[in-house]
Amino acid sequence: MADSPLRVIALGGFGEIGKNLLALEYEDDILIIDAGLMFPESDMLGIDLVYPDITYLTQRADRLQAVILTHGHEDHIGALPYLLKYLDVPVYATALTRGLAEIKLKEAGLLEDSELHTITPADVLELGCFRVEFFHVCHSIPDAVGVIINTPIGAVVHATDFKFDQEPVDGKLTEVDKLRRVGDQGVLLLMSDSTNADSPGFTPSEQQINATLQDVMAAAPGRIIIATFASNISRIQQVLNIARQNNRRVGVIGRSMVNNVRMAAALGYLDTPYEELLGTSEMNNLPPEQVVIVCTGSQGEPSAVLARLAANEHAQLQIQAGDTVVLSATPIPGNEELVNRIINDLFRLGADVIYSDLSDVHVSGHGSQEDLKLMLALTRPRFFVPMHGEYRHLVLHARLARAAGIPAENMLIVESGGVIEVWPDRIALGEKINGGYVLVDGLSVGDIGAAVLRDRKHLSRDGFLVAMVAIDRATGDVVADPEILTRGFVYVAESEELIEGAKDRMWQVLRTPGAASSARNKIKDVLSQYCYNRTGRRPLILPLVLEV
Amino acid sequence: MADSPLRVIALGGFGEIGKNLLALEYEDDILIIDAGLMFPESDMLGIDLVYPDITYLTQRADRLQAVILTHGHEDHIGALPYLLKYLDVPVYATALTRGLAEIKLKEAGLLEDSELHTITPADVLELGCFRVEFFHVCHSIPDAVGVIINTPIGAVVHATDFKFDQEPVDGKLTEVDKLRRVGDQGVLLLMSDSTNADSPGFTPSEQQINATLQDVMAAAPGRIIIATFASNISRIQQVLNIARQNNRRVGVIGRSMVNNVRMAAALGYLDTPYEELLGTSEMNNLPPEQVVIVCTGSQGEPSAVLARLAANEHAQLQIQAGDTVVLSATPIPGNEELVNRIINDLFRLGADVIYSDLSDVHVSGHGSQEDLKLMLALTRPRFFVPMHGEYRHLVLHARLARAAGIPAENMLIVESGGVIEVWPDRIALGEKINGGYVLVDGLSVGDIGAAVLRDRKHLSRDGFLVAMVAIDRATGDVVADPEILTRGFVYVAESEELIEGAKDRMWQVLRTPGAASSARNKIKDVLSQYCYNRTGRRPLILPLVLEV
């Protein structure tokens, strides 16, 4: 009987959106599954990207056996360059996932130094004490796999992001038989995608949107512009299929989409060679009723193609009256306002816009409650840990597992940074580790923390006011009149009287006998009060006493 | 035959969310319908509220006949104190709407000087050249009315926010007969709510959520906390009804909700006297299974009750394990991320949370496509102008009107600031006016404009850096070492080397012979480049050369 527990280290993807990264640790062996990033939340002001904190892994670099990538979405592979910058560890992925990862590693200048292995769902790997198998899953990208990790104390199923699509675009079903077999043999622990744990029923097949796409292509009087995720290779194949039936040709635009499509076509994941796609001059010069353009920006990203089209700021492409724009994606929470603005602007430019409130232009790649129950029923695990979702989704997924017969004491809900220890007969929380964020802002990774974000928030609301004065080092006499510099607080050109009043308050402080030593703090207090009384606002007040 | 057109002045509610304010002008008479506000969009940093620009009205103060309020929602009455601060004009509203408006006027110290009149849907008013009638409409607040304005050139129907609820909570149906009659007599112009122009079908009856509320009340093991809009008096009546059937008593919490409920109960719009509602001590001390609490904050507003409960920061009330929280509202676009965080935090505190993805806990108060078509069919207007919606909703509503047989040349889509001139036989765009925003920040209204918002946005992303030096006024010599003050750019405590480098760059500029005269601009250029090269960020750089 094993003395050591299997440790599940939740580094990302538990109680948050994105940034999926999990480590399984048994004695001296660590296996990493996925290396995702997340996009900044609305209060991470000025932040470009968010990586998982990998300190736990860098401190145990000699124990790392491998990174397994389950599929090619940003929240599963986006932090791979960051991980491989610090860790020398082989990466295993299916062909498409590997291709998408290589694009990122190449951009980061890390491709040549990385050890990448292509796997298929039929492969079996021996990685330290872990024997690893795979099962194909349907998701909104081809070539996705779940992972079966046979550990010294039992089998772990990592179901990644999945749904049971009975009619996937590429014809490859989620491998139910393999899951049933591993269930028959006994599963110690299931970890499974919770993203749609609040959606009843089964998630519809990708085929459901074929009808909408067909209707749009048949009816649209001019060009059709379809915005979707750059990684949604299945959706692009659907567009290619239906365009062909409607005598339209397809082009793609947007750097990340062009890169992905070129690679997917080269690897055979699209049935059209990249060279046969439309170039931008054909997009503009072919008869409009023969053109379909697939582009990035379905989440309202300000620098992506769709936002630039809506702002009429794209160099190669302009929206024309008669264009039909299809937003083939549902906004991620937080992006709705941006996406709605883009829709409004596209209508203003004379386009017709088809979006998710109007039509079935998108289906989720994540399983709904019935998919999740089916995964539980196939694998029949002893222990269950919900993953991939906000906290509410984890709770609701655990509730489904309770209904499926898993006792409450056999499951744990953890957030990123949580550690779960699994024994053959029990599951328990381990000591928490640092599972936080590493924020990327410009060229620097990790230098921005809570203090700077707090200042940015303060500045965003009320601006700042710098109050300066120069005093004689020896005598304490004021040698230059007080100066005020302010931005984001009031409109300076129309606030002369307010600013003169602030200078008067500074003079009052400076004229107080013996003020020099405590002038900074007194000026700060007096001006804070003055600004609040006059405006109801609280700018960041920074006094500066220059000694000359 | 009339020589003058009827002018429709779109001051708010056209192509935006909220801020509904419309003026009808015929020769020397102006009639104002509604005086709403909007809540700031996500890029209006630090802004508290947004009022419509009423310059057009203040410049024509002697022509104003009346303000008619169609119902008591913020986006229809919230700017009334602002309007009445500048304009001396009588206000007409139904009893509940008037009561809600009075709460606002009282807070603003304007109640005593305001001229308010209570109307019923049966009343007919003569206001200048306008003969004004009303029709009751169902909406998510009782006592809402649409307006029929008989002008010298024909009848205008202002359908405000409405739906054709066949089973409203207060039993009062939208007055279809009156609409049909006015349609029979001939409608020159219809203006109608576009909010849900992208939703197919009819909007469900408010009764649809009774079943959900009943299920929740019957099943919840402890207290039930229901968050909804403070003005949603119908929803509160529903909660009272169903609580009674389940042997639960109801309390309300949150300043605006307490004010509204007290007033609505006093006017007979709730069937329970205010004194019979639970106080906070009873909410905490009665057996939990007998308690229902209705509170504010369903949109995630950080200072409202629900957000404070989720943060465990409410003085009188704490979430307990066993509480069930119901979010009886759908997030307005832009609020989803805030609302989702609150849901996650409530789950973390051990509550069960019922929200719109899970259950029918809210229905819209706005008519869907079939409601809109029915309004068009009843009134059969010659001209049609969609209102109350984002631009996309106006376009889609116009499309419905086309399908209903209104020729394209008989309708116009305008955004706020647009002017429409209506003649008996044609409709045309007039010259645009300023229909923009007035931003409220703290105590000041209107002093914050695009320049300050631009600075706040810049500061929110990259912070600022103030570079100071004192030079001798006579010689140009540097008399105090350069100083750097920075916030929101880098974490100062760990950026000593970066900041010393910036000071070195300043010295290089200052040592250049003859630099004093242009030192400010040179320092700005050099430091901008330095910061960007070192960090990839672009803080707001403010050089200051102090002459002593």
B477 at interface of A, judged by CB pairs closer than 8 A: no
Domain match, A468 and A529 both: yes
Task: Tell whether B359 is covered by a domain.
Answer: no
pLDDT tens-digit series, residues A15-60: 998 899 999 999 999 999 999 999 898 889 999 999 999 999 999 9
Could you tell me which of B48, B44, B125, B58 has the C-alpha nearest to residue B86? B58
**Active site residue ranges of A:** 193, 366
A129 at interface of B, judged by CB pairs closer than 8 A: no
Task: Tell whether B450 is covered by a domain.
Answer: no
pLDDT tens-digit series, residues B93-145: 999 999 999 999 999 999 999 999 999 999 999 999 999 999 999 999 999 99
Q: Rg (Cα) of chain B, in Å, rounded?
A: 28
Domain match, B370 and B349 both: no
Domain match, A526 and A393 both: no
Domain match, B393 and B412 both: yes
Name the residue of chain B whose CA is nearest to A335's CA.
B334
Name the residue of chain A whose CA is nearest to B544's CA.
A485
A399 at interface of B, judged by CB pairs closer than 8 A: no
Domain match, A266 and A414 both: no
pLDDT tens-digit series, residues B9-35: 999 999 998 899 999 999 999 999 999
Domain containing A393 — which CATH number?
Answer: 3.60.15.10
Q: Which of residues 66-125 of A touch B (CB under 8 A)?
A: none
Q: Which of residues 373-392 of B touch A (CB under 8 A)?
A: 390-392
Task: Tell whether A451 is covered by a domain.
Answer: no
Q: Which residues of A touch B495 (CB under 8 A)?
A: 447
Nearest chain A CA: its distance from B492 CA (Å): 9
Domain match, A275 and A341 both: yes
> Average of pLDDT values for B76-100?
97
Task: Tell whether A134 is covered by a domain.
Answer: yes
Q: Which residues of A touch B488 (CB under 8 A)?
A: 46, 452, 455-456, 459
Nearest chain A CA: its distance from B445 CA (Å): 10
CB contact under 8 A, A460 and B535: no
Domain match, A158 and A19 both: yes
Task: Tell whether A211 is covered by a domain.
Answer: no
Among residues B75, B143, B165, B193, which one is catalytic?
B193
Q: Which residues of A touch B463 (CB under 8 A)?
A: 46, 452, 455-456, 459
B540 at interface of A, judged by CB pairs closer than 8 A: yes
Domain match, A165 and A23 both: yes
CB contact under 8 A, B452 and A463: yes
DSSP B199-238: S-SPPPPTTHHHHHHHHHHHH-SS-EEEE--TT-HHHHHH
Using alpha carbons, list the distances in angstroms from residue B424 to B188, B406, B427. Answer: 7, 15, 8
Q: Which residues of A touch B310 (CB under 8 A)?
A: none
Backbone torsions φ then ψ of A344, nearest 5 degrees? -60, -45
Q: Which of residues 405-434 of A touch B (CB under 8 A)?
A: none
Q: Which of residues 197-256 of A touch B (CB under 8 A)?
A: 198-199
Domain end (from A327, A354, A381) = A354
Local confidence band at B515 (pLDDT 50, 70, 90 cut-offs): low
Question: How far is C-alpha B108 from the geometric centre of its chain's CA atoms?
Answer: 18
Which among A336, A347, A536 is the nearest to B391, CB-wise? A347
Q: Which residues of B touch A42 (CB under 8 A)?
A: 42, 337
pLDDT of residue A63: 98
Rounded CA gap, B169 and A104, in Å?
57
B258 at interface of A, judged by CB pairs closer than 8 A: no
Domain match, B440 and B475 both: no
Which among A355, A358, A491 is the nearest to B448, CB-wise? A491
> Average of pLDDT values for A233-246?
94
pLDDT tens-digit series, residues B280-322: 999 999 999 999 999 999 999 999 999 999 999 999 999 999 9
Domain match, B56 and B111 both: yes
Nearest chain A CA: its distance from B414 CA (Å): 11
Domain containing A467 — which CATH number?
Answer: 3.10.20.580
Q: Which residues of B touch A547 (CB under 8 A)?
A: 480
Identify each DSSP E strand in A119-248 by its residue range: 124-127, 130-137, 144-151, 154-158, 187-193, 224-227
B445 at interface of A, judged by CB pairs closer than 8 A: no
Name the residue of chain A whose CA is nearest to B484's CA.
A544
CB contact under 8 A, B46 and A442: no
A499 at interface of B, judged by CB pairs closer than 8 A: no
pLDDT of residue B434: 86
Copy the structure tokens of residue A221: 């009087």
Name the residue of chain A whose CA is nearest to B347's CA.
A392
Rounded CA gap, B216 and B374, in Å?
34
Which among B392, B451, B546 is the nearest to A546, CB-wise? B546
Domain end (from A324, A354, A384) = A354
Q: What is the count of structural domains for chain A?
A: 3
Task: Tell whether B206 is covered by a domain.
Answer: no
| pLDDT over 90 at A294, yes or no | yes
Rounded CA gap, B346 and B324, in Å?
9
Local confidence band at B483 (pLDDT 50, 70, 90 cut-offs): very high
Cβ pairs A/B, distance under 8 A: 195
Domain match, B133 and B273 both: no
B399 at interface of A, judged by CB pairs closer than 8 A: no
Which among B337, B344, B444 is the nearest to A42, CB-wise? B337
A503 at interface of B, judged by CB pairs closer than 8 A: no
Task: Tell whether A437 is covered by a domain.
Answer: yes
Domain match, B154 and B261 both: no
Q: Which residues of B touch A537 (CB under 8 A)?
A: 46, 441-442
DSSP B377-434: HHH-EEEEEEESEEHHHHHHHHHHHHHTT--GGGB----TT-EEEE-SS-EEE-----
Nearest chain A CA: its distance from B145 CA (Å): 28
Which among A447, A456, A537 is the nearest to B488, CB-wise? A456
Name the residue of chain A whose CA is nearest to B43's CA.
A460
CB contact under 8 A, A535 and B444: yes
Q: What is the mean pLDDT of chain B?
A: 94
**Contact predicate A230/A254, CB 8 Å:** yes
> Average of pLDDT values for A247-253?
97
ipTM of the complex: 0.92
pLDDT of residue B362: 86
pLDDT of residue B3: 81
pTM of full prediction above 0.80: yes
- Please give the helix or strand (H or E) that residue B157 lies within, else none: strand B154-158
A461 at interface of B, judged by CB pairs closer than 8 A: yes
Task: Tell whether B114 is covered by a domain.
Answer: yes
Rounded CA gap, B291 and B240, in Å?
11
A353 at interface of B, judged by CB pairs closer than 8 A: yes
Mutation to test the A interface, candidates B41, B43, B337, most A Cβ within 10 Å = B337
| pLDDT over 80 at B337, yes or no | yes
**Contact predicate B468/B491, CB 8 Å:** no
Domain end (from A320, A354, A388) = A354
pLDDT tens-digit series, residues B356-398: 877 888 899 999 999 999 999 999 999 999 999 999 999 999 9
A333 at interface of B, judged by CB pairs closer than 8 A: yes
pLDDT tens-digit series, residues A109-151: 999 999 999 999 999 999 999 999 999 999 999 999 999 999 9
Domain containing A298 — which CATH number?
Answer: 3.40.50.10710
Name the residue of chain A whose CA is nearest to B534's CA.
A443
Mutation to test the B interface, candidates A337, A366, A368, A396, most B Cβ within 10 Å = A337
Nearest chain A CA: its distance from B173 CA (Å): 28
| pLDDT over 70 at B2, yes or no | no
B34 at interface of A, judged by CB pairs closer than 8 A: no
pLDDT of residue A515: 65
Which among A340, A466, A548 is the nearest to B333, CB-wise? A340
Could you tell me which of B202, B228, B192 has the C-alpha nearest to residue B70? B192
Angle at A266 between CA A262 and CA A270, to 5 degrees: 80
Instruction: Show Cβ contacts of residue A57 under 8 Å, excluding neighbours closer than 6 positions.
Output: A11, A23, A30, A32, A64, A83, A86, A87
For residue A307, give its domain range. 216-354
pLDDT of residue A532: 97
pLDDT tens-digit series, residues A404-452: 999 999 999 999 999 999 999 999 999 999 888 899 999 989 899 999 9
**3-state secondary structure labels for all residues of B79-133:** CHHHHHHHCCCCEEECHHHHHHHHHHHHHCCCCCCCCEEECCCCCEEEECCEEEE
Does B193 participate in catalysis according to the annotation? yes
Question: Pairing relation of β-strands A427-429 and A419-422?
Answer: antiparallel
